Amino acid sequence: MGTSRNVAQLRAKTELTAKVITGGNRDATAAAADVYKANVLRTGRRDSGGDLRLSRWGRRGLKLNAGYDLDGTIVATATLRPRPMGPWKVLEYGARPHVIVAGLTRRQGQALALFSFMAGGAGSFDLGELAGIAQGNRNNRRTTRSQARARALTIGENRRPFANHPGVTGKNTFSDGIARGTKGAVSATRKEHAKNIAEVWR
């Protein structure tokens, strides 16, 4: 639009500036969310050994990731979501000592972990009964998924039907990533708005 040569042109630029600021809120929010995501993944990489992969989760390990949901236009919001949630919770808050039994379904394993957690890691379990449940899961309907459930846990060079997990200390991984990303997120938001305003006044 170049230099304003009269009041009408100046007023038009001022009105357009207001529009690009409100209209650019979604892009500015996305830019901030990108910075937060990058920093959360950076702290995740730090606390997972450098590759964002937790090697002791499942048979093949588990890859940490994060994404965000972007909503609204004039009033835009972004919700950063760690994926998958479970491992991020362990990195953030830690986990108390609990029992892991090979062959249980995810829901059964969660119920067992919850009971162990509520008992302070000192819960009493009938491991023979749990082993029977696990065997039933593998035989149930003879599906590929049921048959693929582990018959034993690999611990070092040993294989066992169950293990007593000693628990881990939380590292505040997610919240640390958010804290580290705040300054950059604010800067990214300002840069996005500044770019849009510069287009009007150039």
Residues 70, 86 within the same domain: yes
Q: Which of 62, 70, 109 lies closest to 88 in space, CA to CA?
A: 62
Question: Is the same domain home to 134 and 150?
Answer: yes
| Residue 126 shares a structural domain with residue 161 | yes
Residue with the bigger pLDDT between 112 and 173: it is 173
Which of 44 and 96 is assigned the larger pLDDT?
44
Confidence of residue 116 (pLDDT cuts 50, 70, 90): low
* Torsion sign, CA atoms 118, 59, 94, 174: negative
pLDDT beyond 80 at 136: no
User: Does pLDDT of 134 surpass 60?
Assistant: no
Span 5-31, mean pLDDT? 75
Same domain, yes or no, for 66 and 147? no
**Is the backbone of residue 23 left (phi > 0), alpha (psi -120 to 50) or beta?**
alpha
Look at residue 41 and tell me whether its pLDDT is greater than 80: yes
State the pTM of this model.
Answer: 0.67
Q: 22-31, 113-122, 187-196 — which one is most confidently predicted on average? A: 187-196
- Per cent of the chain over pLDDT 90 is 32
* Alpha-carbon distances, residue 14 vs 7, 191, 196 (angstroms): 10, 19, 13
Q: Residue 134's domain spans which residues? A: 97-166
49 band by pLDDT with thresholds 50, 70 and 90? confident
Q: How many domains does the chain have?
A: 2
Q: Are residues 104 and 53 in the same domain?
A: no
37 — pLDDT class (breaks 50, 70, 90): very high
pLDDT value, residue 14: 72
Say if residue 82 is in the same domain as residue 3: yes
- Looking at the fold, whether 129 and 83 belong to one and the same domain comes out as no
Same domain, 76 and 8: yes
